[in-house]
Structure 1
Amino acid sequence: MPMELLRQLAQRDQFPAPVVGEAEVDKLRVLRAAGMVQAELPGEGESVRSARVITITGLGRATLRAQAAREFIARRDRLPGTPLPTAKA
């Protein structure tokens, strides 16, 4: 899943970062098309075995934060004794 690749990339200390393997490069294409990373991808007819991530964009980092918040809320809502949110008028 492309979001998992984005999470892995966010753990890196240094960029540019290599991405190896056809499946991973395909995920990187999705992330680049969505504007979440800047990356150098192989061109048409070139080997698709490797690519290079230049950086994670602000949109990519914001998406990671939003996903983490959604996961936190989902976990919190499953805790016993957690009151359900109420609608405010």
Structure 2
Amino acid sequence: MPMELLRQLAQRDQFPAPVVGEAEVDKLRVLRAAGMVQAELPGEGESVRSARVITITGLGRATLRAQAAREFIARRDRLPGTPLSTAKA
């Protein structure tokens, strides 16, 4: 899933970062098309085995924060003793 790749990239200390493997490069294409990363991808007819991530964009980082918040809320709502009145008004 592209979001997993984005999470892995966010853990890196240095960019540019290599991305290796056809499946990973395909995920990177999705992330770049969505504006979440800046990346150098292989062109048509080139080997699709590797690419390079230049940086994670502000949109990519904001998306990661939003996803983390959604996961936190979902976990919190499953805890015993949590009021079920979290419905939106």
TM range (shorter): over 0.9
Q: Please show how residues 69-80 of structure 1 align to structure 2 within 5 Å.
A: 69-80=69-80
Identify unmatched segments of 5+ residues in structure 1: none
Offset of residue 84 of structure 1: 1.5
- The 2-side partners of 1:27 and 1:87 are apart by 34
1:7 is paired with a residue whose SS is helix
Tell me by how many angstroms 1:86 deviates. 4.9
Identity across matched positions, percent: 99
- Residue segments in structure 2 that go unaligned for 5+ positions in a row: none
Aligned partner of 1:16 in structure 2 is 16
* C-alpha RMSD of matched pairs (Å): 1.3
Q: 1:85 Cα deviation (Å)?
A: 2.7
Runs of 4+, deviation exceeding 3 Å: 86-89
Q: CA deviation at 1:57?
A: 0.1
Q: CA, structure 1 residues 45+73, in 2 after alignment: closer, same or farther (shift >3 Å)?
A: same
TM-score scaled by length of structure 2: 0.96
- Give 1:87 deviation, angstroms: 5.6
Higher mean alpha-carbon deviation, 79-88 vs 30-39, is at 79-88
The TM-score with structure 1 as length reference comes to 0.96
